[in-house]
Structure 1
Amino acid sequence: MDSSLYEQNLARDDRVPLRQKIAYSMGVVSDHYANVCLVWIFITPFFVDFLGIGASVVGLALAAARCWDAFTDPLVGRISDACTSPLGRRKPFIFVGAILTGLLFPLIWMVPESWSTGAITIYLFAALMLFYSVYSIFSVPYEALGAELTADYDERSKIFVVRKYVQELFNLGIVWVFPLAAWLGTLAWVGGETGGVRAVSWVIALIIICAGILPAIFNVERYKEIAVKKGSDSFKDALLAVLKNKPLLIVVGVIGTYLFAIMATANLTYFVNVYYIYEGDMLKGASLGGIDGTLRLFFALAAAAAISKITKKFDKHVIMMASVSTLIVAFIGIYFTTIPGRPWLSLSMKPLVAIGECGFWVLILSMRADICDWVEYNTGSRSEGLIAAITNWCNKIAMTLAIAISGFVLQYIIQFDSQLPAESRAAISLQAQAEYKLLAGSDTYDLEGKEPISLGMYTDNLERQAVMQQQQPGTMERMRLLYTLPQIFALVICLFLLKHYPLTRDKMQEIRDALERRRGKTIQA
């Protein structure tokens, strides 16, 4: 069916205006700036590389916080499902949660460097627990809202295609926040590397708040009149009914399996770029990550446009399987193209990753929205919040295990040692001061035609070069292998699960017809 005919056949009550699609999509911008900047961008370099906390300790702190988060999510989801506020079941939580999440984000990075290792560790544990407590208030109702915007099978996919467009455009900012923080750290008034992260964290906080409140302001909740019946089911009964749902278990299994793999290796990206490819140059390694994200943007946008067209012709899980297959090829290719001193070659497989991940996330979230109808069809209750919470719960358990494992993998399996003895640091400091005086008086002071490097930056580069020299044989090859192998295994499992997904286009139309005969159509009101 071509797009013009699709628009003609789409019922007025099923159509979600572009303005509302964009407003809903801004919520994922808030979510990603809060979550990705914390877990993937800043926490490993800040606490491990800058403050000297063990990677395994940081992994345990994140794991503990996400484990707590996993137990608060079902509570928030059930409260949201049962909310009878005239403002809606989701929007009040989204509004308040976005503000609190944004305000608490900079708090994580405010720990004084002068504190002892034990004090910094306690601070990290407490700050993360508090942050993820308020993050649940925002994230669970926001994900539930996505299932309530339309009842149409294809329009749901279009909502998540627009969300992917918006996400990728704003991800361009995420991939450059660490290079920005690294650059700010070279300025005397900022206060070094830690000061650069702290300065950028306030900008991120503003984005989290401004983007996060938009779904609460502009979106319409279609199902608040068909909410969970008061007292109809206990929390336990509702939870058991949802957990018996085969399509949900498949979707949760696919998301959780892939998230486990990418989260278990997420902290390796920084070390691969900085130490493996650039042999200790942090600015170049950070910039490579920014270039990587920028390159992916264009391919992800093109993939989203293609998915918007082909979802009208093929079932969602079929396109999902093609996306997963693309990712398997991409990660195999990344292993062979990640080579020291060859940064441009390391980027060659990233367009395939962008294409595959675009299809993966657009379609798996649209499939989860379909499952909300399946649950109502079988139980008679709308439980979008509980479904979003259970999905988050299982995913966060997977991520918790992955994060806990990631620190141990880096420290004990890869055996990467980023700590230098005190005497080595003292010797490097004296060496840096002597060489910097000569450097400042020569034509090489302006490094490669860029802004002059500071003494602190020069010292840090010498320390990272010393870190590279102290690694045991085989360390960097183990890092390269574990950078890609877990994703490949996880994606093979995802393919197997998707083969058994039962909710086709025809089945979903059958379910919708039955629901509308039972309780009437949903309306935008």
Structure 2
Amino acid sequence: MKTNPHHQTSPEDRIPLPQKIFYGTGQISNIILALAIVNLAPFVLTVELKVDAFLVGLALGLPRLWDAFTDPVVGYMSDNWRSRWGRRKPFLLLGSVSVGICLMLMWQLPQGWSEMAYFWFFLGMSLIFYLAYTVYATPFVAMGYELTPDYHERTRLMGTMNFIGSLAAIPMAWLFAITQWDIFEDGVQGARVLALGLGVMVIALAMVPITLLKDPTKHRFLKKDPDARTHDGKEKLQFFAGLKTTLKNRNFRMLCFATFSFFPGLILIQNFSSFLVIYYVYGGDNAAASVLLGWSGSLAAFLGVVFIPLVTFMGTHLGKRKAFIVCAGLALFGTLIKWWCYQPSMPYVNLIPGPFIGIGFSALWVLMGSMMADVCDEDELHTGERREGTYSAVFWWIVKLGLSASLATSGLLLNATGFNEDLGASQADGVYFAMRICDIVFPALFISAAIYFTWKFPLTEELSYQIKAELEAKRGKVAMLHEEGAQA
């Protein structure tokens, strides 16, 4: 039977390991920003300050609708930016400093406010936070798409980046537990102090790719043309025309739908899992529950780190699509067995599903990012334009739209089960049963949808290398980062 050849990455397309690490260090900032809010808000606002779960979900979800405007605009500006530092780094600098400061300020919550006062303060700060986050994250992701033109090297780059980012995710699972330390008066004061440290870390770590990462495309996007309407003799990319072209790309939509299904589908029931541990398993003991939740998140993150080399190997040998389907299938299995893992007499069996779900997340971040870079090549072949910023922005806006809907719906769904935060562990009959049903059924359906959309994605290894060859025949090879002969 005839089989397609397995392509080998040419030396000039390889990224040196130090450069991969520099890029991955910027991902630590990204991870802190992504997890700090969702890992703290339900506990600080709902458990500590008794803000209704629906209002918390609304305060978390509504700002992501704001991203519908800011993400494409920042992506478009980044694609069209011309400077001596290239297209992306000026945005990384502005965004990292701004979002780090916002992260520090938004958790300086005083005691004694009304429920609505907390809601409006947190909502307002979240709007500013996510704008600054977009200015950092959108160009950062776009830069990753540009670092190599090779199908397999992209997977290795995303593997290294997410390996480093997943290491950062391990301590992020302990944020709630840290706020419960005895050195703090209460969890609210703990969150205030913790946020200051996290904000400083975000800014400091983002400086690594800003100052040390080499941009192989910088020479193509220098500020040469004094005519503001053109760059390098070409018309600027058009905003609305570019958005239309992006959204019409069928392969791009398949990736969006797959990620939209997998990630927000699990976020939808995140509060269910946490509240079941706090109130059902531990009877309302916040301190004890925070330890189990910390171990659960850390185990999933740690095994996610362990699994990333495996996912990378699978992606470069089985193909990205097949590798993701296998890993998502394991995540589906982990979701289904959660029904048997809420045991008040044996709390730590709750750790069992984590590794299965963790490998699914590892595959999501490693392989979807790599496949997105392949889509950008396909787009350049058809349009002659490099629009990584726009693709990154629209992709993540669609994902964040799903996340926004999940966060907003999560509170409604939690209230629909009859859960009442004022009752603590003494919930009405049937509430815990309904919460456990939701905790399994919804993510299982969403993961199944993600598997289907990935199965429909057509850009194989063979086709991607054909596209690369046609692009290089048109415009030559992309200048790479390393000296001749360097190996990653």
Normalised TM-score (structure 2): 0.92
After superposition, residues 221-232 of structure 1 pair within 5 angstroms as 221-226=215-220, 230-232=234-236
After superposition, residues 174-193 of structure 1 pair within 5 angstroms as 174-183=172-181, 186-187=182-183, 190-193=184-187
Query: 2:196 aligns to what?
Result: 202
User: Which has the larger displacement, 305-314 or 472-481?
Assistant: 305-314
Query: 2:433 aligns to what?
Result: 477
1:495 corresponds to which letter in structure 2?
A: I
* Alpha-carbon contact 2:155-2:316 (below 8 Å) kept: no
User: Which has the larger displacement, 112-121 or 159-168?
Assistant: 112-121
| Counterpart check, 1:305 vs 2:303 | no
Query: 1:340 aligns to what?
Result: 344
Query: 2:149 aligns to what?
Result: 151
Deviations 1:371-418 (A, max 9, x none): 11011011110000000000011111111111110111112x122111
| Counterpart check, 1:238 vs 2:242 | yes
CA separation of 1:224 and 1:243: change in aligned 2, threshold 3 A: farther
CA distance in 2, matches of 1:232, 1:68: 25
SS state at 1:280 partner = coil
* Alpha-carbon contact 1:100-1:134 (below 8 Å) kept: yes
> Displacement, 1:213?
2.4
CA distance in 2, matches of 1:310, 1:263: 26
Aligned counterpart in structure 2 of residue 315 of structure 1, from 302, 319, 344 = 319
CA separation of 1:516 and 1:133: change in aligned 2, threshold 3 A: same
Query: 2:28 aligns to what?
Result: 29
| Counterpart check, 1:517 vs 2:473 | yes
* Alpha-carbon contact 1:93-1:137 (below 8 Å) kept: yes
> Displacement, 1:148?
0.7
Query: 2:422 aligns to what?
Result: 419
SS state at 1:147 partner = helix
The number of aligned residues is 466
1:203 corresponds to which letter in structure 2?
A: G
* Alpha-carbon contact 1:278-1:341 (below 8 Å) kept: no
CA distance in 2, matches of 1:157, 1:209: 27
Query: 1:468 aligns to what?
Result: 425
* Alpha-carbon contact 2:85-2:218 (below 8 Å) kept: no
CA separation of 1:258 and 1:308: change in aligned 2, threshold 3 A: closer
Query: 2:225 aligns to what?
Result: none
CA separation of 1:341 and 1:209: change in aligned 2, threshold 3 A: farther
User: Which has the larger displacement, 211-220 or 325-334?
Assistant: 211-220
* Alpha-carbon contact 1:220-1:524 (below 8 Å) kept: no
> Displacement, 1:353?
1.6
> Displacement, 1:296?
2.6
> Displacement, 1:93?
0.7
Query: 2:456 aligns to what?
Result: 500
> Displacement, 1:67?
0.8
SS state at 2:428 partner = coil
| Counterpart check, 1:85 vs 2:89 | no
| Counterpart check, 1:273 vs 2:271 | no
After superposition, residues 377-388 of structure 1 pair within 5 angstroms as 377-388=381-392
2:22 corresponds to which letter in structure 1?
A: A
Query: 2:401 aligns to what?
Result: 397
CA distance in 2, matches of 1:297, 1:60: 27
1:417 corresponds to which letter in structure 2?
A: N
* Alpha-carbon contact 1:65-1:125 (below 8 Å) kept: yes
| Counterpart check, 1:352 vs 2:356 | yes
Query: 1:252 aligns to what?
Result: 256
Runs of at least 5 residues in structure 1 that lack an aligned partner in the other structure: 1-5, 421-466
Query: 1:61 aligns to what?
Result: 59
CA distance in 2, matches of 1:468, 1:383: 51
Query: 1:219 aligns to what?
Result: 213
Greater RCO (Cα-Cα under 8 Å, separation 6 or more): 2
Counting aligned pairs with the same residue, the percent is 28
> Displacement, 1:232?
4.8
Q: CA RMSD in A?
A: 1.8
Aligned counterpart in structure 2 of residue 173 of structure 1, from 168, 171, 174 = 171
* Alpha-carbon contact 2:70-2:131 (below 8 Å) kept: yes
CA distance in 1, matches of 2:200, 2:244: 39
CA separation of 1:293 and 1:61: change in aligned 2, threshold 3 A: closer
* Alpha-carbon contact 2:173-2:294 (below 8 Å) kept: yes
| Counterpart check, 1:15 vs 2:9 | no
Query: 1:142 aligns to what?
Result: 140
2:461 corresponds to which letter in structure 1?
A: R
* Alpha-carbon contact 2:254-2:457 (below 8 Å) kept: yes
SS state at 1:105 partner = helix
Query: 1:287 aligns to what?
Result: 291
User: Which has the larger displacement, 344-353 or 375-384?
Assistant: 344-353
Query: 2:37 aligns to what?
Result: 38
Deviations 1:470-518 (A, max 9, x none): x110111111121222110011111211221110000000000000010
* Alpha-carbon contact 2:170-2:298 (below 8 Å) kept: yes
CA distance in 2, matches of 1:386, 1:34: 21
Deviations 1:201-223 (A, max 9, x none): 11111221112222222222223
> Displacement, 1:147?
0.1
CA separation of 1:277 and 1:84: change in aligned 2, threshold 3 A: same
CA distance in 1, matches of 2:452, 2:377: 24
SS state at 1:13 partner = helix
CA distance in 2, matches of 1:47, 1:478: 23
